[in-house]
Amino acid sequence: MERDPLAPDDARLAYASEGEAYRILRSNLTVALSDLERPTVIVTSADAGEGKTATSVNLARSLALAGKRIVLVDLVLRHPDVHHWYGIDNSVGVTDVLLDRRPLEECLQQVDVGLGPSQTQRSIYILPTGLAVPNPAELLGAGRTHQLLVALAREADMVIIDTPPVLLAAETLVIGRTVAGALLVVEARRTPIPAVQRAKDALIRNQTRLLGVVINKWRPQAGGGDYDYGYGSAYGYGPGVGPAQSNGR
């Protein structure tokens, strides 16, 4: 597939700091969604451990520092991780809202993320998973999940959702049908190209708008093979969304 002409310059991104890479991703994602008001975006990957949670957390923070009202939601009910990044309580959250145990406002947690350009303290709202349930796919597949996301979107400029790997959990595709689009995170030189292709095809067949591919831990490297993520050699980027680098899960 040919490289998207809107993707950022290879060399500039290859050596960009992590913060700069997320600012580039933030800018391009905002452009890609400029036709939508208060969009909701899922962040997923083909397999576990490729950096999707790091991308979710850092993208949400970058958007908040730019002055956006952001809600970050953890829908990885089997293996939640977002709460670890900010050291917040995970005993209440999504499962409580969906099971009518607590109202939404009691489960959202406000977290300061740093100073914006005008030296104003910026924050995000985080909705963690809450305690584990035996049937996460069934719970998230119910109509109440869509209602929850609609309610969150009313209070934010953008909702960022950390979801399970698309090839490992059915609920990601269920959620994907109701959002503005998806970012697919790939760990360079680790994720086989066929797995990326299967993940991309699954999202597209599901009628989920693929906003772009985020290449995690990418560095220029000579050679080829199944793990060569030279830009455009394996797959293209969505409209206006290029790669970013992060170092987490």
**pLDDT band (50, 70, 90) for residue 227:** very low
**pLDDT band (50, 70, 90) for residue 189:** confident
Return the residue matching tokens 């036709």: 35
**pLDDT band (50, 70, 90) for residue 249:** low
What distance in Å separates the CA atoms of residue 42 and residue 60, rounded to the nearest whole number? 12
Q: What is the pTM of this model?
A: 0.82
Amino acid found at 195: A
pLDDT in tens, 84-127: 999 999 999 999 999 999 999 999 999 999 888 788 899 999 99
**pLDDT band (50, 70, 90) for residue 172:** very high
Give the model's pLDDT for residue 10: 40
What distance in Å separates the CA atoms of residue 3 and residue 123, rounded to the nearest whole number? 36
Mean pLDDT, residues 36-46? 95
Give the model's pLDDT for residue 116: 81
Does residue 217 surpass a pLDDT of 90? no
Q: Residue 42: which residues within 8 A CB-CB, separation 6 or more? A: 75, 161, 163, 172, 175, 176, 179, 181, 182, 183, 208
The domain defined by 10-158+165-172+183-216 folds into: Rossmann fold (3.40.50)
| CA angle in degrees (0–180, nearest 5) for 47-48-49 | 125
**pLDDT band (50, 70, 90) for residue 230:** very low
Q: Which residue, 20, 21, 24, is CA-closest to 6?
A: 24
Q: Residue 233: which residues within 8 A CB-CB, separation 6 or more? A: 224
Instruction: Provide the H-helix boundaries in 108-192.
Output: 136-141, 143-154, 170-176
Report whether 113 contacts 78 (CB < 8 A): no
The chain-wide mean pLDDT, for the chain, equals: 82
Mean pLDDT, residues 182-200? 92
Does residue 243 surpass a pLDDT of 80? no
Structure tokens at 23: 């600012």
**pLDDT band (50, 70, 90) for residue 64:** very high
Least confident of 10-14, 37-41, 65-69: 10-14
The single-letter DSSP state of residue 56 is H
Domain boundaries, the chain: 10-158+165-172+183-216
**pLDDT band (50, 70, 90) for residue 183:** very high
* Residue 18: exposure state from Cβ atoms within 10 A (0-12, 13-18, ≥19): middle
**pLDDT band (50, 70, 90) for residue 219:** low
How many Å is the Cα radius of gyration of the chain?
17
pLDDT in tens, 11-38: 333 334 667 888 889 998 999 998 898 9
pLDDT in tens, 72-93: 999 999 999 999 999 999 999 9
